[in-house]
Amino acid sequence: MVRNGSVESPSPRPRIHQTHPHDTPLFQSTVSQSNLRRFNYWILLFRLSAFCFSLSAAVFMLTTNVAHHDHDDDSISPPRWYHFGAFRFVFAANSIVAIYSLFEIGASVWEIYSNCTVFPEFSQVWFDFGHDQVFAYLLLSAGSTGTELARQLRGVDTCTVNNAFCIQSDIALALGFVGFLSVLISSLLSGYRVVCFMIKGSRFVH
Amino acid sequence: MVRNGSVESPSPRPRIHQTHPHDTPLFQSTVSQSNLRRFNYWILLFRLSAFCFSLSAAVFMLTTNVAHHDHDDDSISPPRWYHFGAFRFVFAANSIVAIYSLFEIGASVWEIYSNCTVFPEFSQVWFDFGHDQVFAYLLLSAGSTGTELARQLRGVDTCTVNNAFCIQSDIALALGFVGFLSVLISSLLSGYRVVCFMIKGSRFVH
CA distance B166 to chain A (A): 17
The pLDDT assigned to A65 comes to 65
CB proximity list for A157: less than 8 A, separation 6 or greater: none
What CA–CA distances, in Å, run from A104 to A17, A40, A54, B85, B129? 30, 11, 14, 38, 26
The pLDDT assigned to B9 comes to 41
Inter-chain touch B16–A206, beta carbons under 8 Å: yes
The pLDDT assigned to A133 comes to 95
**C-alpha span between A177 and A146 (Å, rounded):** 11
CA distance A162 to chain B (A): 20
B193 touches chain A (CB under 8 A): no
**C-alpha span between B37 and B29 (Å, rounded):** 12
A195 touches chain B (CB under 8 A): yes
**C-alpha span between A127 and A123 (Å, rounded):** 6
The answer to whether residue A154 is domain-embedded is yes
Query: Considering only residues 170 to 189 of chain B, which have any Cβ-Cβ distance to chain A shorter than 8 Å?
Result: 184
Backbone angles phi, psi at B22, to 5 degrees: -75, -10
The answer to whether residue A9 is domain-embedded is no
The answer to whether residue A23 is domain-embedded is no
The answer to whether residue A30 is domain-embedded is no
CA distance A68 to chain B (A): 24
Q: Is A191 exposed, middle or buried (0-12, 13-18, 19+ CB in 10 A)?
A: buried
**C-alpha span between B167 and B153 (Å, rounded):** 11
A141 touches chain B (CB under 8 A): yes
The residue of chain A with its CA nearest to that of B189 is A195
The answer to whether residue A72 is domain-embedded is no
**C-alpha span between B200 and B17 (Å, rounded):** 7
The answer to whether residue B16 is domain-embedded is no
Inter-chain touch B151–A200, beta carbons under 8 Å: no
ipTM for the predicted complex: 0.79
Domain count, chain A: 1
CB proximity list for A92: less than 8 A, separation 6 or greater: A142
Given a cut of 80, is residue B158 above it in pLDDT?
A: no
Q: What is the 3-class SS of chain A, one letter each residue?
A: CHHHCCCCCCCCCCCCCCCCHHHCCHHHHHHHHHHHHHHHHHHHHHHHHHHHHHHHHHHHHHHCCCCCHHHCCCCCCCCCHHHCHHHHHHHHHHHHHHHHHHHHHHHHHHHHHHCCCCCCHHHHHHHHHHHHHHHHHHHHHHHHHHHHHHHHHHHCCHHHHCHHHHHHHHHHHHHHHHHHHHHHHHHHHHHHHHHHHHHHCCCCCC
The answer to whether residue A4 is domain-embedded is no
Q: pLDDT digits over B68-104, tens only? A: 444 444 455 667 888 888 999 999 999 999 999 999 9
The pLDDT assigned to A11 comes to 42
CA distance B144 to chain A (A): 5
The residue of chain A with its CA nearest to that of B142 is A144
CB burial readout B142-151, b (16+ within 10 A) else e: bbbbbbbbbe
Q: Count of CB atoms within 10 A of residue A5's CB?
A: 22
Q: pLDDT digits over B40-73, tens only? A: 999 999 999 999 999 999 999 988 864 444 444 4
pTM of the model: 0.80
Q: What is the pLDDT along chain A (206 residues), one digit of tens a residue?
A: 334 444 334 444 443 344 444 444 455 567 777 888 888 999 999 999 999 999 999 999 988 864 444 444 445 566 778 888 899 999 999 999 999 999 999 999 999 888 888 888 889 999 999 999 999 999 999 999 999 999 888 877 777 777 888 888 899 999 999 999 999 999 999 999 998 888 887 766 65
CB proximity list for A136: less than 8 A, separation 6 or greater: A180, A183, A184, A187
Q: Count of CB atoms within 10 A of residue B83's CB?
A: 11
The answer to whether residue A6 is domain-embedded is no
Identify from B145, B158, B194 which residue to disrupt to test chain A contact, counting A C-beta atoms within 10 A and taking the largest count. Answer: B145
B152 touches chain A (CB under 8 A): yes
User: B143: which chain A residues are within 8 Å (Cβ-Cβ)?
Assistant: 141
Domain that holds residue B143: 32-64+81-200
Identify from A129, A148, A195, A196 which residue to disrupt to test chain B contact, counting B C-beta atoms within 10 A and taking the largest count. Answer: A148
What CA–CA distances, in Å, run from A89 to A21, B97, B100, B174? 48, 27, 31, 19
